[in-house]
Structure 1
Amino acid sequence: MTPEPFYPIGTPGQAWGESEKLAWLSRQVRHRSHADDVVARVDRLRSRFHVSEYGRLVYGEESFPQLAVRSRDWNEALPTVLVTGGVHGYETSGVHGALQFLEQHAARYAGRVNLLVVPCVSPWAYERIHRWNPKAVDPNRSFRENSPSDESAALLQMIAPLKDKVLVHIDLHETTDSDESEFRPALAARDGKPFEAEGIPDGFYLVGDTEDPQPAFQQAIIAAVEQVTHIAPPDAKNEIIGSPVVAHGVINYPLRALGLCPSITNARYRTTTEVYPDSPKATAQQCNDAQVAAVRAAIDFALANA
């Protein structure tokens, strides 16, 4: 019999207390620089866009600016497009895909939409290549009133005045091998639950909204991304990560009930991308390109069907 995997912190069947969370935090190591990888690239965009610091995260002696990049020619008569990346800091192509879109493709939408791009919602987690913030809280289950995540609360506050003006919100994510080796086992240990392996889908897929799935919108994105990288097939149960596949490369979640990032506006068109950077069939650049293709397809579809 294969023994049940168990995370090295905590006691099986018991949720973590503060001592376990501190033990987890002590294991986190800084691997890369938000200042070098994100802030420096955003600074180079200042001549073309309006850049603002919508918040500042302070964790111990570390301080991180929370940056938003907006169209300089903002026009209240135009629809608004919101792009978010790095809600889970370890999901690298979400951050770099958002920046690549700004650098290479945003200009074609000038005068057609208002762009609001938040390339890295969770800078501390970006540096640690982790899913959680330092409090062992997942920002992408925390987009709700009285959020336990400072990252989520700041984004909610910034977006609040635009909540009813956003036409498209696309949230850029990844699914990685470390989901199964680190993050899901850590989640199970934190919550005192058994770990149940779900498998890692090999390829790109989308997570739509159960309450408002917009299937044509989702399929337009899949068709565009399919020109860049492969789409994840369903497993033997016709599921992807435990959810039924509702169309080619698409599953749905109840976004608001789960406190997920695409629930923060009343946008007609909402989706979450998921690429698979550990696939032998994809490179890191392909993953970035897939995120860009998804953003462009989302905007193009919305403009054609608004």
Structure 2
Amino acid sequence: MEKFGWSIVVVSIFLFSALLVGISNEKSVESLRCSSDIFLSEYVAYVYTSQNDTINVPIYWCPSKVGKNVSVVLYLPFFNAWVNYDKSSIRRGFRGYFKLQVPMPIMLNHSRDIKNLSLDVLIRDSNSEKNLIIPFGNWSFEISKKNPYKLVVVEHREEVFTPKIDTAFITYGLGLLNPTNTTVYIMNLSYSLSPSKVSTIAVACYNVTSISDLPWVNKIEDIPKDLMLSNGGCPILPGKRIYVLVYMKVDPSVRMLLLRPKIIYRIGNRTESMPGGTMSFIRIPEMCECNFR
């Protein structure tokens, strides 16, 4: 009986020690994760835009431990644009990351590709200050002519998230209103990015009333063939709207994608173009579990 009692004591001590080791390891993992600030900000991007336009680009922040008086300043040197966030304007989003918006004023008079953009970050707290330079990615800008646009973007899909790192099958969607008194034909939604990184599988048009009514397609073979964009274009009658979906494949090497496509349409005997809405696609494989007091 005495030996049995000692066995219980030994087993209990062993289990308690294992529990302590587990807690210690868990804390060390959390400490490792939270030892520095993590930013998701490096985009592959195509933007079709007019001169003097401004877009807001989301980045995602997993902070190290910070106090109640934290503030974050983001500065984009190439475009001389900045924004300041205090704690009251910072909210957790997908997988625990904080979403911050970077204003990007398009002060370009011609189309161009810009490689290796960077973003300056200043993080202030009551007793500390950190200066960081983080990657902002590779950007392709196409500047449109200053024609008045005949169509109105009434709605578009803004963000797509995934925790997966494999090849992604995603959709870009938007609604277009024709306020003119003549039928307009959508001929294409295009972008200029490496096909090995981002490629269009199909474009389809839907007569629905909201972007939330668009069908959710998980497989390429499920794309409705009868709704695909034809050579003659997709008609929008006067005063009516349609919704367009672009089905795309994104390579695993693209961790973040920003897309503002070029809408090509025909009105009468003229072919014109205009910018679509801006959508971002972000892979966030790991949870942000750091404390934020």
Q: Which has the larger radius of gyration?
A: 2
Say which structure is richer in helix.
Answer: 1
Check whether TM > 0.5: no
- The answer to which structure has the higher strand fraction is 2
